[in-house]
Structure 1
Amino acid sequence: MLDQIDAKILAAIQDNAMLTAQELGERINLSASQAARRRARLESEGYVTGHSARLDPARIGLTVQAFVQVQMSTHTPERAKGFERLLQAQPEVISVWTLTGEADYLLHVWCADLAALNQLIHDRLLPDPAVARVQSQIVMNQLKSFTGLPV
């Protein structure tokens, strides 16, 4: 069970995973060694599943962000697994969710430009035999980016 200090640690490292034990301890009013021990425990117990850096998409040449809804023509386990393997192989697809409703999958994608998005949809997704329909929404402006989970 998480206590308030654990929640503060998780919030702090979600904001900046590079915090040293000293910096983390200062933020939450613990000694560096106590902060380090608690952080290590949270990591070993699976509350923290990894560390990553947030990159600036424009700086690395990605200018088009889109959400792509995919409706399947068939729902056999073999076809679904094949489609999911296809998605895993697409570097532009950064997140995938299965959904209730009309669309079966929602893909979050980042592409270099509209031509790259078009190629992803028409040359790689639509030819898959399990895909019936693809609908994309291009992001015009991102008002809030992922800032972490509420702890």
Structure 2
Amino acid sequence: MPTKTSISRESSGLDRLDRRILSVLQLEGRITNLDLADRIGLSPTATAERVKRLTREGYILGYSARLDPRLLGRGLLVFVEVKLDRTTPDVFNMFAAAVRRAPEVMECHMVAGGFDYLVKSRVADMAAYRRFLADVLLAMPGVRETHTYAVMEEVKAEGPLPI
């Protein structure tokens, strides 16, 4: 008869210890393997092997530092709805390629609904946004219309994934 652990592992690919590792790493990516092992109650060797497996299997995509955008001259966060003039595979592909080349674009998501893409960008201020809109976004292939939402306050940003 399967145990509760084997059932949860079969259905999601993760057991309780894997989930604990991911929860800790997502909040404390610089934690040492020794401290992580102590936190989850495994040996350092077993912990390191699990982290390697979770990385190999694609659960852990990488590690990075969170930077303060205001100190780096990127204090204004904007979201932009983008409507394309045609919704054909070639226009989607050309727009996506242009977005990938634009360093000002932090995120871009194709969405279902009243517009085609949602773009997230950080710029210095409204004047910089105006230049980004005119010189970058509106110059992308297929862009017909945009609607911009400037963020007044970030209530919750980059929260951890529920695990």
| Class of the TM-score when normalised by the shorter of the 2 chains | over 0.9
Over residues 74-110 of structure 1, what are the superposed CA-to-partner deviations in whole Å (9 max), with x where a residue is unaligned?
1122222111111111111111111111110001111
Alignment of 1:54 with 2:75, yes or no, is no
TM superposition shift of 1:129:
4.5
The CA distance in 1 between the partners of 2:147 and 2:33, in whole Å, is: 46
The CA distance in 2 between the partners of 1:138 and 1:84, in whole Å, is: 22
Give the one of 34, 39, 48 matched to 1:22.
Answer: 34
Give the one of 75, 79, 83 matched to 1:71.
Answer: 83
Q: What's the TM-score once normalised by structure 1's chain length?
A: 0.94
**Which structure 1 residue ranges, 4+ long, deviate > 3 Å from structure 2?**
none
Alignment of 1:44 with 2:33, yes or no, is no
The CA distance in 2 between the partners of 1:127 and 1:108, in whole Å, is: 17
Partner amino acid for 2:77? Answer: Q
Does 1 or 2 have the higher relative contact order (CA < 8 Å, sep 6+)? Answer: 1
- Listed as ranges, the gaps of 5+ residues in structure 2 are 1-12
Partner amino acid for 1:99? Answer: V
TM superposition shift of 1:6:
0.3
Q: Is the 8 A contact 1:25 1:31 kept in 2?
A: yes
Residue of structure 2 in register with 1:90 after alignment: 102
TM superposition shift of 1:147:
2.1
User: Which structure has the larger Rg?
Assistant: 2
Q: Is the 8 A contact 2:94 2:141 kept in 1?
A: no
Over residues 11-36 of structure 1, what are the superposed CA-to-partner deviations in whole Å (9 max), with x where a residue is unaligned?
11111211111010111122211211
- Listed as ranges, the gaps of 5+ residues in structure 1 are none
- Aligned-pair identity in percent equals 36
| Number of equivalent positions | 151
Q: What's the TM-score once normalised by structure 2's chain length?
A: 0.88
- DSSP-derived class of the 1:59 partner: coil
The CA distance in 1 between the partners of 2:134 and 2:107, in whole Å, is: 19
Alignment of 1:111 with 2:162, yes or no, is no
TM superposition shift of 1:68:
0.5
The CA distance in 2 between the partners of 1:128 and 1:146, in whole Å, is: 27
